[in-house]
Structure 1
Amino acid sequence: MKKFLLVFPCLLLGANLQQINKDISANQKKIQKKENEKNQITNLLQKLGIQINEKYKKIQNIDLQITHLQHNISNNQNKNLNEEKSLVQYKNILKDLQDKKQEIRQKITKMLINDASFLIILNQNNPVSPDDIILQEIFRLLNKQGQEKILLLSQQEAIINQKIKDTKQTIENLNSSIAAQTNRRDTLKLMLKEQKNLIKTLKKDLAIYNKKLETINAERKSLDLILSNLNILKQKTQKEIEEEQKRQNALEAPLEVKQIASSYKTLSTATYKGPKTIAPLESFTIEQKFGPYFDPVYKLKVFNESIILVSKTPNAVVRNILDGKVVYAKEVPILKKVIIIENANGIHTIYSQLDKIAPTIKVGLKVQKGYIIGRVEQKLSFEVTQKDKHINPLEIFQK
């Protein structure tokens, strides 16, 4: 972008120093902002690290609980298996006892029948011999012994039945414990899975924020380098100002000089060949024309790259004269606010000395002919270039 006005060296250096100070201030604010972002992300990373450690501790605790439960389940399953075996043994013992009781009952019944038959025979055959009496007594003794054996077997049967009942209850209790422990183990496994998934998510967040921190550190280094260069430039500019002031004092340069035209030599120009368009101001007079002229005050031959239009109404709107795209829009020392629009065929239209830039104007915005780009209280400086040549703006629009 070409310079639109040329100022005496000391004034130009002062404007540059002012801009450098602004750049230093803006850069320091950016550095502070990056430092705040770095602190925020560092705190967040610490919190994420604490959360991840807590999740790992929770996972270890859950793992221990699952291991303990699995151990208890295995023990209870083994106990249950042993109880099942015992139950089968008790049932077999019970069956043996019942079979023995049945066998004794059958023997007693047989003896009672034989005893009854023997009594009938004794009653029919008198007198009774000693052998008969002995035989009868043997029957009675055998019957008594059988009854005693049945009683003993019944007692043993009652003991075995109680053991069977106790064993069944133990098996039932073990099965309930195994079921409860299995449910708890499965619940803990789900919790374990959730905690592992949370750790994966936290680790992803950790990686993202670590990457952001690396980016911020890189940006901070870049800003520090820019700030260092700006400070060097500031010192150099201040030295140049001091030297220029000494030189001007030696030459006794006039103190009231503010600015003069943009170039002291004839520039390369071109003729506009496109269609006519609108003027940037609706109602105006021309204060400064395009081209060379002789400055009677400073006795210098100068060349005006731009024209100066004086609006007949205050706070006048400034319109874009050709379709194009905004490539520059900001305030510049001495030139006030400046807008540069890139048009077709390598043409650039330059609007300076603006008092206001329209809030919609941003770099990259495509604007059509007639679009309001800003306002001026009185004067508008307007310049047109095509590639490396200057065009008389009055050739493009008609007053």
Structure 2
Amino acid sequence: MNHLLIISVIFFVLNANSNIDSKIKKTSSKLNTYSKNYKNINQKMAQNAKEILEQKLEISMQEKHLKNLKNELSQKEISYKVNTTELTNLKKSENSLKEDSEKLEQELVFTIAQSVSLSVILEEEYTTSEESLIEFEVLRAMLKNAKMKITELNDKFYINSKNIEDVNAQVSTLEVEIAIIDGKRKEMLNIQEKNKKDLKNLKVAKSSYKKELQKVLKKQDSLKTTLARLNIIKIDEIKKAKQEAERARAFNSNNIILDKNLPKVKKHGSSYQAIKTKKYRGLKTISPFSPYEITKKYGTYTDPIYGIKVFNESISLKPNKKNTKVKTVFNGKIIYADKTAVLDNIVIVEHKYGLHTIYANLSQISPNIKKGKKIKKGYTIGRVSDELIFEVTQKSFHINPVKLFQ
């Protein structure tokens, strides 16, 4: 029965280790893939996501090590108890042997001294009287017995010393084995404590990341609503409702944090707008400002933490200094210029052939920029301190903004 139980435990642990190995491999693969492509979204968020994935990977490896330690300790638990009991008995035996050794040593010293004394006496000259001859024989017999006792005591002392050495060796072996198991128990407790702290840190990191992602999505939704209100794009309300429900499920899911295992990333719905990308075929123009760094690219990506599929209709351009002037990239007419709660200041310019350029997240709008005003290419429409959200549409189609000037 005990053998069946041990086999069942081993099978369970091996199966659990296999599952953890699979999750570690999956997350490693996902992390490697994501590391190559994370610049497709906001760089700060991307770095946070990368750190979260690395934290999950570390936690999974910790859990694998914990499984192995628990298995090893469970297998050695019986031997640990036996060894501890045996060690106690051996130490008692060792003390008893040491006491015997001290007694044998004292008796041996006394007998040797007696033998020496008898030898000295027998070397003296005796008269040939009958009494002296009897005394001589008695002393000689005593000396013979003393020598025999010395040999016997010496043998016992040697055997006792050998037994002490053997017991010492066994004690040392047991102490090492017990110390190894105690060390592994301490290691297991340390890893469990670290695991608890790492999970807490992961929960905090994921909560912060969630807020950032929701902020990005809120900005995106706000811009879509503004463009739809101006009849620049169309929104499919059914798809919008479906996506909002899918996002709510993803954000309310606790699997990533509380399960202590790696998340099963689900493919959630794409952006609620029926995204249609059109290739830009016009002449190259200027960028809204220069120099710039593209911190968010155009296109689809799946968020690595929540698995939400997002389409970036815009790009984000970061200036190298605050209050950088933002210029319109074509001749056109201002159809919208206002401050919003989510996207700060927005300017939308209408151009020929149904083309619109959208400049959002402006720190300020130029004082002379008003709705209905016609402006020339290169005209300053405002300033940006953080990142400019730049979007281009043409008759409900989206155009990759970088194609206009790169």
TM value normalised by structure 2: 0.35
TM value normalised by structure 1: 0.36
Larger Cα-atom Rg: 1
Q: Could you say which structure has the greater relative contact order, defined with CA pairs below 8 angstroms and 6 or more residues apart?
A: 1
